[in-house]
Structure 1
Amino acid sequence: TLHSHNAKRREILDQLDVSLKLSRKKVQLQQDAYDKLNQLKETRKALNLYSQELHTIIKPLERTIYQVNGFLAKYGNYKNVDYIQADADKFTPELFSQCKSALEEVVRIVDKSGYQRDNPWNGCMLTSITYEFRQQFSVDSEKLLTFVSNGIALYNEIISLLGSAKLTPSYEITSDVIVLFNLAKESPNIPVKWLECNIDKQIEQVANCIELLKKRNSL
């Protein structure tokens, strides 16, 4: 009948509509999957680039960002200091090693007993810097540098006369040099030829004897 024919036709159209909706949904799911895949690819690319940059050796320091961050992490508990290193991008391994050794020397000096007591700036209560202070400080600094230069030249001359480099060129040995000069001043004259002799072994033996004497006295 006409009614049954129309009903059959309606059923077919409904089935087609369902199929079309499922197809569109499937296409949408596929598109979402492709979008997600592309997003994951971009994320992987960014992570690979980050890893590459993290482990790439930077010239001229010859260190990676990962290594530098690991080095800085050891000092995470220390207070931050407002300091900018000039020409940091030009640091070489040799220059970095020199700076590290210099800092370690500063730490050693600061940790030494009596440093705060003997520090020339100890007790300084300077609250402002005037023009007169700058001028006087500049003059005094020039004098100090002259004394230091003369001291270095004198030290080198002493080393040349002793024929040994056992003494370390530092402020700490100043008292030892003074004792040496006083001893030389009170000593009788000796032949100049004696000063030309290499007495490295004798100096080393005396140093060993002093060390053994200290150990014995500490028992």
Structure 2
Amino acid sequence: MHKVDSTLQPLILIGGGGHCKSVIEAAESSGQWKIAGILDTADKVGTTVLGYPVIGTDNDIPALAAAQPDTRFIITVGHIKTAEIRRRIAARVMDANGEFATIVASTAHVSRHALLGAGTVVLHGAMVNAGATIGEGCIINTLANIEHDATVGDYCHISTGAMVNGDCRIAPGVFLGSQSVLLNGISISAPDSIIAAGSFVRKTLKEPGIYAGNPAILMKRL
């Protein structure tokens, strides 16, 4: 059981896997949210994740949004190879007139000169520097670095330890693997592309695909 401050804003998490645990940690550390429950598959209803109850499935989003208009939602289904599931869940929340939380972990730093879209989470140790713009529904994972004036499109996942240098542009839905690096001023202009862990992107990538290596090259077209 968790003792929470009743004045905190209620939060419902959608997805009860590993990413959910990371978001719980960030939400708890921020001191802004009261976790009201988790939505997952029907077979998980009645179980718990880190002590928080699974109270229903995403079919319950409309009823929850209508009954508890002050509640905010956050998508805690991870983005591994595609953002499509996260986009579909977001559409369900928006169709129900639900509103998204934006969560920043206590040890993350988001410049007051940066912009974060609704539904984005910034996990522990991450940096979002001055002039950066992060879209809606993004995951800025542990120790990721988004440098000055970079733009990250909606529903991107910037993985653990990845580095997006200054003035970079990333199209929506891109997955940037752990410890990958984008050279200053580079663009990934192909939506939903995948950059493998440890890759070094030295030039603009225009074709949708899976890229890997140093320098990153196209391994498979999407």
**Which bin holds the TM-score, normalised by the shorter protein?**
under 0.3
Which one has the largest radius of gyration? 1
Determine which structure has the larger strand proportion and give its number: 2
Q: TM-score, normalised by structure 1?
A: 0.24
